[in-house]
Amino acid sequence: MEIFSYDLNLFKRVIRTGGITAKSSEVRVLETKLFSGVRNVKEFNNFLWHMEQYFTIAHALKEEQVTITIMYLTCDAKLWLQVRVDYDQNASLIPITSWKTLKKEVKE
């Protein structure tokens, strides 16, 4: 828990200052993990958790969360969402606009 607290404080400082200062240049910031749509429960749950942590750290508005998530989808996951968005538009269905709805749809 102590490491998580340190990382959270580091991310907050990076966001506030707009970058890593010279004093903290030896700190390694983890790369963002992409989600390809692989049917692996552990990987999928880790992706969801990661995105929720990112939303918290970045102070992402609820309206931005779906758009932000789309940037971290690749391969089958991105293709699925593109097809789903096209289908929703053509069928005059309500589009996926919330993180809660996106999570539900992806889980199904």
Q: Which domain holds residue 100?
A: 2-21+29-107
Q: What is the predicted pLDDT for the residue at 89?
A: 75
CA of 30: how far to CAs of 19, 75, 100, in Å?
14, 22, 25
Q: Which residues, 6 or more positions from 12, have their beta carbon under 8 angstroms from its beta carbon?
A: 57
Q: What is the predicted pLDDT for the residue at 24?
A: 46
Average pLDDT by consecutive 10-residue portion of the chain (108 residues)?
58 62 46 80 89 85 90 89 81 82 83
Rounded to an integer, what distance in angstroms lies between the CA atom of residue 62 and that of residue 5? 24
Residue with tokens 């990076």: 14
Reported as type and span, the H/E element at residue 62 is: none
**49-65 b/e with 16+ CB inside 10 Å = b?**
eebeebbeeeebeeeeb
Q: What is the predicted pLDDT for the residue at 28?
A: 45
DSSP 3-state of 96: coil
As for how many domains the chain has, the answer is 1
Rounded to an integer, what distance in angstroms lies between the CA atom of residue 75 and that of residue 36? 5
